[in-house]
Amino acid sequence: MQHVQDVPSEESPSRDFEPSQDVERADLPVTEASEQEPAEQTDEAPEARPEPKKPANPDLETLPEGADISKLDPEARQELKSLPKAQAEDVGQHLAAAGMLIDEDPELALKHARIARGKASRVAIVREAAGLAAYHAGEWAEALSDLRAVRRMTGSNAHIAVMADCERALGRPERALDLAKEVGTDVSPATAVELRIVAAGARRDMGQLDAAVVALQGPDLDPKRRDPWSARLFYAYADNLEAAGRNDEAIRWFLNAAQVDDEEETDAAERAVELGAALQ
């Protein structure tokens, strides 16, 4: 997650619990056998010792190794300074855990993010982490709720493309398009490209295949470009070309995407080969 240095109220683990100690029973005084009186009979059962409590969620009994506030970036640590120190440390641990787990175990990452949100729901960085963790875990409505809160708190449109994609996932492509129109050009170049990709997907959801292709066109749709987002943009364009039945063009753009995909974010080369084989 984005605020953990190498990526956004329910159940909270009882981490301070110590099992209760056995109660010692004093020995009865011993006298000579002739002077002992028979013990008084009683029907009362011996007092039962309380059972040790179990953690509310065994998955959260311990945090991943290295999950502490120092793993967060300076901006996140600065925001957490608005909390009391002990609370900031606790919340920071869960935010760090969420960031460490978000790719390998998004469901567990979300559990940690929810704990952080439960302890500091009015801190924007916490709601951001919770929203992004929910998005990665496929909890679209929850992600949308948290990211809307972040937008209200900060006035930033940084996650508007993620919000629009949540609307798509919830079966509301029209709302995704409305969000894209609402922000206009008041976003970073990277976010603008992500919005175009989501808008194209929304058009496709609505059966508007040609419009989906057109939504991705622009000056940066140039195979000579090497922008940070070029691989994703070229890939999305190829994918929508294929959906529109323009297979020869789709193969060319899958190959363009593969050439600029240095981080291997996509399977563009495989898609080009598969599509080419299908056309033979």
The Cα–Cα gap between 60 and 89 comes to 16
Q: Supply the DSSP string of 25-90, one letter for each residue.
A: -PPPPP--GGGPPPPPP--PPPPPPPPPPPPS-GGGSSPPTT-SGGGB-HHHHHHHTTS-HHHHHH
pLDDT higher than threshold 90 for residue 44: no
Question: How confident is the model at residue 26, as a pLDDT?
Answer: 34
Q: What is the mean pLDDT of residues 60-89?
A: 89
Question: 191 and 158 in contact (C-beta within 8 Å)?
Answer: yes
In terms of Cα–Cα distance, which of 159, 163, 109, 106 is closest to 140? Answer: 163
What string of DSSP letters covers 91-111?
Answer: HHHHHHHHHHHTTT-HHHHHH
* pLDDT beyond 50 at 201: yes
- State the CB neighbour count (10 A cutoff) for residue 181: 10
Tens digit of each residue's pLDDT (9 = 90 or more) over 208-253: 999 999 999 999 999 999 999 999 999 999 999 999 999 999 999 9
pTM: 0.76
Question: Backbone phi, then psi, for 35, in 5-degree steps?
Answer: -95, -5
Name 239's Cβ contacts closer than 8 Å, sequence gap at least 6. Answer: 250, 271
Number of Cβ atoms within 10 Å of the Cβ of 64: 17
Give dist(CA 7, CA 19) in Å, integer: 37
pLDDT-derived band at 280, boundaries 50, 70, 90: confident
- 20: phi then psi, degrees, rounded to nearest 5: -65, 150
Q: Which residues pair with 72 in a beta bridge?
A: 4
